[in-house]
Amino acid sequence: MKNNKALICIILSGLLWGTSGIFVHYLAPYGITSMQMTAIRGVVSLIAIGIYILITDRELFRTNLPNLLFGAGAGLSMFITASAYYTSMQLTSVSTSVILMYTAPLFVMAYSVIFLKEKFTFIKGISVIGIFIGCALVSGVVGGMKYNTLGIIIGFISGIAYSAYNIFTKIEMNRKINPLTATFYCYVFMAFFAVIFSSPQNLIPIVKLNPPVFILAFAGLGVLTSAMPYFLYTIGLKKLPAGVASSLGIIEPLAATLYSMILFNEKLSIYHIIGVVLILCAVVLLSRPEEKE
């Protein structure tokens, strides 16, 4: 029963994460930068989770230096992931940027092979080939479609940072840190880094254009695409193996692609569809437990 709840948490987190493209689509034309969107996500999420802890259990604010350092690592990783993801989305497309971010298991595998001395198996080799071919198809490098080189590079950076976030979060769960505590301090550091680099004062004249609409949009960006899904994902990661959680995470790119097709009329070519399938299959293979290979 606990595993079923964890599965539902991971699935819901993917569906909510997939809504990021909706907010980017409507906010970017007003001149709101990717860094500012990251800052909005971080600050709103921090406030929401902080209020919840304040009301329910203030003991969850307690932490120690080692756990705080892991929270800083997770927060920095999340800051880079979100900023690179939003930038890539504006330079390429919603579906391309989210698929590039989901190359994260490739970087986790590379880290494990190089630093943890894990074996480079046949399955891993096939998965790596599948991801590279899939990315070439999704990005437009293969198939004659237009592509943005900088957007693709930044998309890969979001994948590297997302893999680091997964590693830090799993370490925190192995250390038996409460998911709310881990998520709160992750956002403390994410918000800190984002505010420093985002020039938040430039948002004031934009908000003055229509305060109720922008405040509601900022709240949605922070809660729906960040605080709620990251908290749900952290709960799920506590009960499920990291590989299973990563496999279920492919719901996000599927949801994001579906949202973009329905809401923004973003069309997918046959090359794009094949690339998406290749990458998602490769991610599932890489996320399998080692003993099942």
Q: Who has greater pLDDT, 215 or 244?
A: 215
Question: What pLDDT score was predicted for residue 158?
Answer: 92
Output the pLDDT for position 126: 86
User: Nearest to residue 157, comparing CAs of 86, 224, 227?
Assistant: 86
pLDDT digits (tens, 9 = 90+) for 134-192: 877 776 666 555 668 898 899 889 989 988 988 888 888 888 888 889 989 999 999 99
Query: Residue 283 is part of which domain span?
Result: 2-292
The model's pTM: 0.79
CA 143-81-254 angle, 5° bins:
50
Q: Look at residue 55 and tell me whether its pLDDT is greater than 80.
A: yes
Q: Distance (Å, rounded) from C-alpha 120 to C-alpha 283? A: 15
Q: What is the full DSSP assignment across 163-216?
A: HHHHHHHHHHHHTT--HHHHHHHHHHHHHHHHHHHH-GGGGHHHHTTSHHHHHH
Q: How many domains does the chain have?
A: 1
